[in-house]
Structure 1
Amino acid sequence: MKFKKTLSIVAIAAFAIACSTNPFTGKKTLALVPNSQILPMAYQQYDQFLQENQVVTGTSESRLIKNVGQKIATASERYLTSNGYAGYLKNYEWEYNLVQDEAVNAWCMPGGKIVFYTGIMPIVQDEAGVAAVMGHEVAHALANHGQQRISATQLQQLGAVAGNIALADSPENQQIFNTAYGLGSNVGVMLPFSRKHETEADRIGLTLMAIAGYDPVAAVQVWQRMSQQGGGAPPEFLSTHPSNQTRINNLQNWAAEAKAEARKYGVTSFKK
């Protein structure tokens, strides 16, 4: 009886799954939670983060972050409009800030709220390097990767609930299931899902930076410098991100393709 109940829960979940379309790949993606709910929360969290951290203003680096961000956003609009997605960005509120923090990092919240840490500036080095990282972060927002992660987490949690209901008569088996399910769903599903998003953002980001007039080879150089930072990294299959060398190889392979796409928009020279 409990097994039937479990199947019913899974069936309900399957019917409840909503999808959206990735405008860059044309593929259907998970969208259990609509952006109308996600974006207001993201904007609130972003504002809170800025209040709690030191935002750098009035410097050449802070101005560079904003200028490049605007160029990448304009390139995004051009691409989306040209490919039948006019109005796709209507609820986005682009914002680009440099924050004082030694971490070598940058990130983007759903809806186009972007932060660069000062720690990444020596790695990006110049305008084209900023464009490489900016393109990657903007790509996460455009492809709704945040929405997909939230949806995947909900499905993961639902699977755990279903398994525990099915094994309710055996606490020992529940414990075994929870251990195996936690490890299996993370290593076998969630981590590959995250790496796929990073790879997708790398490829989309190359296209966006090229349309904005930047040489995609700059992205290769950024990751080459990143790989020289040292520090241990987990094996790729246990990481949320592809290895540095995997990213470098991919970016090298995609650079010419990104330039070819940019030429469709009249871009014939690329800033290095």
Structure 2
Amino acid sequence: MNVREINAFALPGGPMFINRGMIEKAHNEGEIAGVMAHELSHVALRHGTAQATQATKYEIGEVIGSVVGAIIGGRVGNVVAQGTQFGLGTAFLRFSREYERQADILGTHVMADAGYDPRDMASVFRTIEKESGPGGPQWLSDHPNPGNRYDYINREAQLLRVSNRSHDTAQFQSVQIRLRSMSPAPTTEQATRNGAGRNTSTRGTSGRPALGRPELPSSRWATFDEGSLFRISVPSNWRELPGNNAVTFAPEGAYGSMGQESVFTHGVEAGVARNETHDLRTATDELISSLSQSNPRLSRPSGYDRVSLGRSSSLRTVLSNVSDATGEEERVEVYTTLLRDGSLFYLFGVAPRGEFNDYEPIFRRV
């Protein structure tokens, strides 16, 4: 994929994708082989399929085509092909630490069988950490370190016999030279915006969706049941919008689409994310970090307020962002709480900066 970030992923069934940034930054061919062996091992061990199966208990609507279903809410769709306004889909395509360890171990055997030094797999993890910059390595976010990763990979490598050992080939070096001589690869955000820019059927002349003036929130409220997961009440003139990774409620004139991405300017979005930390603060930090990867102009919270959500303790914070739909500054009010199984429930309230004080009481009531 012609994007700058150091990343790679494989889908259930075998399709594998490697970013140009990964190829350009690899120190040798073995490091690329290590990434590919790791991803191939996830496929062979059916980790993506297992996560999709585990995700079904969170479904709010019909599963249309979820790839791994790691971030669940609303009517789950294809989390790779489409995304919501906050881009949670791919940000939460992360494997558990146990799955990571399994893929590491099997990957070393795949490398040895193919004639590559399995220690290059340990080496590539260090390359990713070093080259990913201050924003943090996306690949290691999706593939968390199980602990002592470098040590157990190197121990496993010592037990393996590598026959017909492959070295850094001239073909691989020529590929790197060719890529580095090309125009710099765009970031994922830039590539997404450029791709969305080709679809202008629902946009105004600025390239943004042609939205109207939203109605003020009704004083009457309507209640919606989202499967067996949660019940939510919103102003009666807000529409329930089918989304891929979350359920969204917004008034007429406040929502539209940019390419394959749904956007809204006023309203709320709710969903459930898998949580491995079982700590509300840490899980919320990870959620917001994932949001910021797809929304680089999203501010980080200076702190959280402890509030009550239903009968559960929850966290609240307010972030600033620049709306994709309008290009103007907006406020995003975030609520999070842990469900009984440890999963993270989240709710985002969105309004333009100049209207946030009018909408904030609505978000609190929701």
TM-score scaled by length of structure 1:
0.43
TM-score, normalized by length of structure 2?
0.32
Max Rg structure: 2
